[in-house]
Amino acid sequence: MKRSGRPRVVVLAGGVGAARLLRGMTNLVPGERLTVVVNTGDDDVFHGLHVSPDIDTILYTLSGLADTRRGCGLLNDSFAALAMLGRYGRETWFQLGDRDLGTHLFRSERLRARDTLSAVTDAQRRALGVGARVLPMSDDPVRTIVETQTGRRSFQEYLVRDRARESVRAIRYSGARAARPAEGLIAAIEQASLAVIAPSNPFVSIGPILAVPGIRQALRRADAPVIAVSPLIGGRTVKGPADRMMRALGHRPRPPGLARIYGDFLDGMVIDNADQAYAARLRDDGLEVAVLDTLMSSPVRSTAVARAVLELGSASSRQSLLAS
């Protein structure tokens, strides 16, 4: 499909790293031209409520409500309901704040009333005043399963309950084969002037999105350049177990390792100054590369990284993606 009109950007997103990039991206791309496709592989049910950690991290961040220090949940939240659940002998390792529960109650009630996750997410987005379109990767359930030496567990069990202590043998996306991309998702990729892979875990954040039939294929055949922001800084990730996971699954946690994972659709990569040494090799492999400080420790740094992504995309597509 031919792109036309004003440039549109689509971003494949996990949690915190993606949210920080998007915090900058929304300063540069008007909401109506930005579509965020969010991982739902680590959605889970706690106390009967449907929790979508990545959707919430992104919407809370873009609405300025996120607890950026904790990295998830809402600012100034309290944990009174959870303490009471503990009194009833329920497991409380997944920290659900009281304000946060309002979101999960809203979502769960509407899902039980047969609304789609897309529709609920859109209502949530509007209520929180977020301008960008936010799509779950699918309205069908896909669950990321982590296999370690001692067995299989849900992603939240692995990450939060067990604190990602065990080495990972394999990652599976249960339900992915039967899942359909959310409505409008494939069209958003087809109509995009730029597709961005956020600096998120390639296996448990971006991997589930790519496992939904049709999405990876759409990126491959897209007219738009596909630019990844590396979540790695000198062989380590800022947050989360992506570096160890890459190693455990046979990938070197360096930009070329990441490029190999996304190789079939990737056109460019934004990497950190610490990984400058890999730029030439990535370019040799045909990728456009931008090198800068990628640590998005402030809104200003988020905007700088987002700008680098858009500039790299502009170079690739020979079309200015930056609003004047």
Please give the residue ranges that form the binding site for its own copies (CB under 8 A). 47-49, 74, 77-78, 80-85, 87-90, 97-103, 105-106, 108-109, 112, 123-124, 127-128
Distance CA 290, CA 208 (A): 26
Nearer to its own copies, 5 or 89 (CB): 89
What residue has token string 């303490």? 83
Minimal distance, residue 61 CB to its own copies, in Å: 16
Nearer to its own copies, 103 or 303 (CB): 103
Nearer to its own copies, 69 or 87 (CB): 87
Nearer to its own copies, 12 or 65 (CB): 65
Distance CA 196, CA 230 (A): 11
> Which residues does 280 contact at the CB level (< 8 Å), separation at least 6?
none
Q: How deeply is 81 buried, as exposed, middle or buried, from its count of CB atoms within 10 A (0-12, 13-18, 19+)? A: middle
Minimal distance, residue 83 CB to its own copies, in Å: 7
Minimal distance, residue 124 CB to its own copies, in Å: 7
Distance CA 125, CA 265 (A): 29
Minimal distance, residue 59 CB to its own copies, in Å: 11
Closest to 235 in 3D by CA, of 208, 271, 270: 271
Distance CA 74, CA 78 (A): 9
Nearer to its own copies, 70 or 239 (CB): 70
Minimal distance, residue 78 CB to its own copies, in Å: 6
Structural contact between residues 200 and 241, judged by C-beta atoms closer than 8 angstroms:
no
Nearer to its own copies, 106 or 292 (CB): 106
Nearer to its own copies, 84 or 323 (CB): 84
* Region for residue 129 given its phi and psi (left: phi exceeds 0; alpha: psi -120 to 50; beta: otherwise): left
Strand bridging mode 44-46 / 49-51: antiparallel
Minimal distance, residue 167 CB to its own copies, in Å: 33
Distance CA 14, CA 258 (A): 16
Minimal distance, residue 151 CB to its own copies, in Å: 23
Minimal distance, residue 49 CB to its own copies, in Å: 7
Taking the CA atoms of residue 15, residue 18, residue 21 and residue 24 in that order, the dihedral angle to the nearest 10 degrees is -60
> Please, what sign has the CA dihedral across residues 183, 187, 322, 324?
negative
Nearer to its own copies, 87 or 318 (CB): 87
